Structures are given as C-alpha cells and as structure tokens.
Amino acid sequence: MTVLISPHGGMLKERLLDEKEAEMLKKRARDFPSWDLTERQLCDLEMIMNGGFSPLEGFFGKADYNTVVRDMRLSDGTLWPIPVTLDVTEEFASKVATGSSIALRNPEGILIAVLNVSDIWKPDKETEAKFVYGTKDILHPAVEFLLNRANPVYLGGEITGVEMPFHYDFGHLRNTPRELREKFKRQGWHKVVAFQTRNPMHRAHQELTFRAAKLAEANLLIHPVVGMTKPGDIDHYSRVRCYEKLLKHYPEQTTALSLLPLAMRMGGPREALWHAIIRKNYGCTHLIVGRDHAGPGNGSNGKPFYGHYDAQELISKYQGEIGVEMVPFQMMVYVKEKAGYMPVDEVEDRMEVLDISGTEFRRRLQEGLEIPDWFSFSEVVEELRKTHPPRQKQGFTVFFTGLSGSGKSTIANALLVKFLEMGGKAVTLLDGDLVRKHLSSELGFSKEHRDLNILRIGFVAGEITKAGGIAICAPIAPYAATRKRVRDIISPAGGFLEVYVSTPLEICEERDRKGLYAKARAGIIKEFTGISDPYEAPENPELVIDTRQCSPEEAAQMVLLKLEKLGFIR
Ligand code: PPS
C-alpha cells in the first residue's frame, strides 16, 4: 500500500495490495465471514482504496464516528464532515468479533477488500441524522437512507484492498486520484478548478465553468459524480454521453473530463466541504461552489433543507485548512439583449432574463416539447431525448393500495381489460394474491415479510416499466415508507401512479368476501391488516378511489383519465 505526496502537498493514502500479496490474502480470506457490499458501501470502499477519501484508511471506528457526527472532525482533529460507515445486519454482526477479519465482496462475490474489525456498535441514527444533515425529515434522501434502509450495526476498522472495484463503462474517463495528479503534472496544469455535478450540463453550466476557470486562471476539470446521486436523477450513462458531447465545446488543451465514483449524500454544506477535501485528493486546487451545492431540495414543510448559500459560507470558513480555494458562483441566467449568460446578481432591473428550471426542463423532455438553443446544445438535448422519450412512449406502473376487500383486485382487473382493449403496450397484473402464490409463497404477514413482498413487486414492476410496458400492482402495501421505496425504484424508469382504494374498514369488514375479517376478529388469523396490524393511508397518492361511490368500471375510467392527464396515454 502506498502513501504519495501530491504536487499540492496533500497526502494520498491508497489502500491496495500488490498482485502477489493480494493473491495470498484472497486465499486466506476464504475462511473469513463474507459481507456482500451494498451499492453505497462499494462506492465508499472504492474511494477509500483509491485515496479519494484520504486520510481515511478504512470504515469509521466509533471514536471517529462520534467526533465527525458532532464536530466534523476525526478523532485526531482532521477535518472530515461526513461519516463513512459500514452498516451490517445484527445477524452478521453476531458472527464477528473485534480483532477478527471479514471479507468485503461485491455483488458478484469478488473479494474487494478485507476489513480488520476494530469496533462494533449500534449507532444512534436519529442523532446522526440531526447532526450531520440537520434534520430527521425522511424527505432528505440521506436521512431516509439512514433511518429506513441502513443496517442497524456499524463495523469499523482499517481495510486492506485486494482488487479495485471494476467498471465496464467509460473506462477511458475513469481516473484515480493518483492518475489525475500525474496527468495534471504531465500537462503542466498547476492550478485546476473542479466542477462537481450530478446533472446534465447545459449552456449555463458551460458559461459558469468557463468564467470560473478564467477567474481562477486555472485549468478546468469537469468531475461529475457517477457513483450514487439523488434518487430520481438522470442516469449516469446518459449524462456521461452528454458531457462527452459538451466537451467538444471547450478548448481541448485546457479542460478535462473525469468520472468520480462517489456516493453522494445530498448533505448540503457538509457535503460541499467533503467535495472540497475529495477534490484536493484528486489534485485540484479550486472547487466551484454554486447555489444549493449538493442540496436535497425541500423538506416536508415545503422549505429547502439548507439556505441557498450555506455551502459557500461553510467552505469559506474552512478552505484554508483544506487547501482548496472556493470559486463561489451565483446562478447563471440568459439575458436576452446580451444574447448571453450572466450571473444573476449582475443583471440589471431593466434586462429581460430567460430561464428554464430543472423541473420545467424535465417537463419539456417528458412531453416532447421544444428546448431552445439558448438553453442547451442540440447534441446534448438529442442525447437526452433518446433515453427520456416523451411520456406517451414510456412504460408506467399503476400501484393500488388499500385494505383487504377494499376492491383493489376488482378495479385492477377492470383496468387490465381496458389496457388490453386499447392495445399498444404489454400489460402485467401483479395482484396481491397472485404475487403471494407465484413470487412470495414462502412469506407471511410480519412487517419484514410484507416489506419484502412489496419490494419484490416493486422490482418486477420497475423492470416492466423500464421495458416500456404497463404493470398493475394490487397489494395491500400497508407501510408508507415501503411504498415510497417502490416509487423511488420505479419513477426513474417511467410513470408511477399510486391509487389509494380508500374503502373504509367497516365496509371491507361488512363485505368480508373471503371470510377473513371474521377469522381475524376471532383471533384465528393473526396480524390482519386493519384489525390487528397497521395500515398507513397514503398522504399524497395520485388518485383516491372510494368504492362506495363508484363501480369498478367507473374506477378504471378514473385511472385512465388520470393517466391521460399526466400524458402517459393518449
Ligand atoms: S401485503 O401486506 O401487501 O404484503 O399483503 P398482500 O400481499 O396484498 O396480501 C394480502 C392478501 O392476503 C390475504 N391475507 C391477509 N391480508 C392481510 N393481513 C393478513 N394477516 C392476511 N392473511 C392473509 C388477504 O386475502 C389479502 O388479499 P386482498 O386481495 O387484499 O383481500
């Protein structure tokens, strides 16, 4: 394993054995307990191994965790704003002792690294959320991840890298920190300003990066995140093809494009600091920080989680300590009379400004509407249109949820026939009973099993949607957080319509078509939804149907009209 001194003075700690040592460790690791890394953990591990997370040498132990959560510093005082933790199940943790080694494997079973376990503990996740992200609101993606998805036990310790995670995509654009530092040195780039992004870049971004590079008298590194970004973002394959097209509009000798395998947390100001530290490790001297850097959007109260310029303020406090200078930027807007872009704070009152927000841009893509030349380059738009066809060409999922006997299956069946009559798209019905027979026959009705059942339905519906088909799902799906996860799985692939069949419990019980309510009341069936198990009614479904007020035919029509309004059918 190597420690290099960067041209800019930062210490780079790579954690990777040479081939011979790696072969020996691979053999020994056969006897270690194996942990299958999650997508996020694999990204973090790659960043530890390639030195992008220097000075980290592994996943956080308890001491570093505590100080980072509360004070943004490792226990030795080094500035580090975001916890890098390895979360595992209680079952796995019970097989591990401090001082032992575990094999960290990718989803294909390849040994990536070995962790020497120094700490095992159960974190207080709410405290972590509050301190690191400033909120416990699960509309914040990192908080949702932490509270609903991350495993309950953390393992800490140094890692020994065996094999770098391999990427089959865009190999020519992937560089480790060491490779980038060497490239900059070779090319005589003494000052490099990095541009962080998780979105496609348009003319405003090009203008902004140009100006920033000029201002800093530096070369430009376009350094987009391709690990994990905000759920619902445009996939990195499409984005990278766009960046490649955009790169042709920069002078070849002054600008480079390289991909960053980081798993973002959307942690706003703290994340911005993290980005600066990471860019330092990659050999950059400057970082562009715009409005809402790494911002996660709005919380449940409708207000943004962080102030527009909080990230800039925090970085300005610590940039000296990190050794990366911030190039702060205002939002760029198009000024009609100048036929060009300007920072918003330089625009005079009399000037007419044109702007297309991210939401409006997505709407135009979805509806196949015009995207003007002043906003983006035609090659970039063309590329995005390929992977983001207008809504009427996309697949979608209609996800019914409601109590047993509420009428979900009846409406779902009516809808199925309507779609078949319309033709044009393949349709699949994933009814609750059907799924439990073919997909989830081994599952019962505990919370854990219900969640698994719903996630399986979500997975299948997502695949159908991605392939341009229609999936109709009709499970009870009693838990809001799990339904949200299904929405997050499916939305990037196409349409998602949540339909709450709101027939009240008394009516469902009175109907009792399958005689299950009587059995549940008698205690013969346990954990019965509505009787002895919870049902969390959706707060913001696309549609609510009360079967007391309409026939199945009418209900199916309501769904069709909604889909038409949203543009998924014509
Ligand atoms: S869940 O919660 O979404 O996983 O449930 P789901 O897969 O839709 O299965 C619900 C059907 O299973 C029957 N059933 C029960 N429902 C609720 N609670 C308990 N304990 C239970 N035991 C069996 C019931 O027939 C449900 O069918 P529907 O079509 O909803 O009436």
* pLDDT for position 454: 97
Q: What is the pLDDT of residues 298-356, one digit of tens each?
A: 999 999 999 999 999 999 999 999 999 999 988 889 999 999 999 888 999 999 999 89
Which sign, positive or negative, has the C-alpha torsion 539, 544, 548, 549? positive
Residue 2 clears pLDDT 70, i.e. is over it = no
pTM attached to this predicted model: 0.76
Report residue 258 as tokens.
């390289």
The β-bridge relationship of strands 495-501 and 396-401 is parallel
What average pLDDT does range 196-215 have in this prediction? 94
Residue 493 clears pLDDT 90, i.e. is over it = no
Residue 3 clears pLDDT 70, i.e. is over it = no
Spatial contact of 364 and 371, defined as CB atoms under 8 Å apart = yes
Residue 5 clears pLDDT 50, i.e. is over it = no
Q: What is the pLDDT of residues 150-201, one digit of tens each?
A: 999 999 999 999 999 999 999 999 999 999 999 999 999 999 999 999 999 9
Q: Which distant-in-sequence residues (6+ apart) come within 8 Å of 39 by Cβ?
A: 228, 263
Query: What superfamily would CATH give domain 391-566?
Result: P-loop containing nucleotide triphosphate hydrolases (3.40.50.300)
What span, in angstroms and rounded, lies between the C-alpha atoms of 355 and 333?
A: 6
Count of Cβ atoms closer than 10 Å to residue 176 Cβ:
22
Q: pLDDT > 70: what percent of the chain?
A: 98
397 within ligand 1 shell (Cβ under 6 A): no
Residue ranges in 423-515 assigned as alpha helix (H): 432-438, 447-466, 480-490, 505-511
| Helix, strand, coil abundance in the chain, percent, nearest 5 | 40, 20, 40
What span, in angstroms and rounded, lies between the C-alpha atoms of 479 and 493?
A: 22
Which sign, positive or negative, has the C-alpha torsion 192, 198, 199, 200? positive
CATH entry 3.10.400.10 includes domain 2-161: yes
Residue 231 clears pLDDT 90, i.e. is over it = no
433 within ligand 1 shell (Cβ under 6 A): yes
What average pLDDT does range 38-51 have in this prediction? 98
Average pLDDT, the chain: 94
Spatial contact of 122 and 152, defined as CB atoms under 8 Å apart = yes
Domains 2-161 and 391-566 share a fold: no
Going by alpha carbons, the residue nearest to atom 26 of ligand 1 is 404
476 within ligand 1 shell (Cβ under 6 A): yes
Residue 7 clears pLDDT 70, i.e. is over it = no
Q: What is the pLDDT of residues 265-301, one digit of tens each?
A: 999 999 999 999 999 999 999 999 998 999 999 999 9
Spatial contact of 275 and 269, defined as CB atoms under 8 Å apart = no
Tell me the β-bridge partners of 222. 195, 257
456 within ligand 1 shell (Cβ under 6 A): no
The β-bridge relationship of strands 153-161 and 58-59 is antiparallel
* pLDDT for position 420: 97
* pLDDT for position 295: 94
What span, in angstroms and rounded, lies between the C-alpha atoms of 553 and 561?
A: 12
Spatial contact of 256 and 183, defined as CB atoms under 8 Å apart = yes
Ligand 1 atom closest to the CA of 514, numbered from 1: 25
What span, in angstroms and rounded, lies between the C-alpha atoms of 126 and 176?
A: 34
Report residue 193 as tokens.
């300003």
Task: Write out the H or E segment, with its range, that includes residue 83.
Answer: none
Going by alpha carbons, the residue nearest to atom 27 of ligand 1 is 404
Domain spans of the chain, in order of start = 2-161, 174-260+266-334, 391-566
Any idea which fold 174-260+266-334 has? Rossmann fold (3.40.50)
* pLDDT for position 8: 38
- Give CA 488 to chain center in angstroms: 9
Which sign, positive or negative, has the C-alpha torsion 488, 133, 300, 450? positive
Spatial contact of 270 and 72, defined as CB atoms under 8 Å apart = yes
Q: Cα(535) to centroid of ligand 1, in Å?
A: 12
Q: What is the pLDDT of residues 381-407, one digit of tens each?
A: 999 998 888 888 999 999 999 999 999
Burial class (CB in 10 A: 0-12, 13-18, 19+), 83: buried
527 within ligand 1 shell (Cβ under 6 A): yes
* pLDDT for position 304: 97
Q: Distances in Å between the alpha carbon of 35 and those of 91, 109, 202, 299?
A: 11, 9, 41, 34
Q: How far apart are the first and last CA of the chain?
A: 60
Q: Cα(482) to centroid of ligand 1, in Å?
A: 16
Residue 443 clears pLDDT 70, i.e. is over it = yes
Spatial contact of 530 and 402, defined as CB atoms under 8 Å apart = no
What average pLDDT does range 93-111 have in this prediction? 97
Place of tokens 């009587």: 518
What span, in angstroms and rounded, lies between the C-alpha atoms of 274 and 80?
A: 7
Ligand 1 atom closest to the CA of 475, numbered from 1: 8
Residue 10 clears pLDDT 70, i.e. is over it = no
Report the catalytic residues.
197-199
Going by C-alpha positions, the residue among 550, 528, 444 that lies closest to residue 478 is: 528
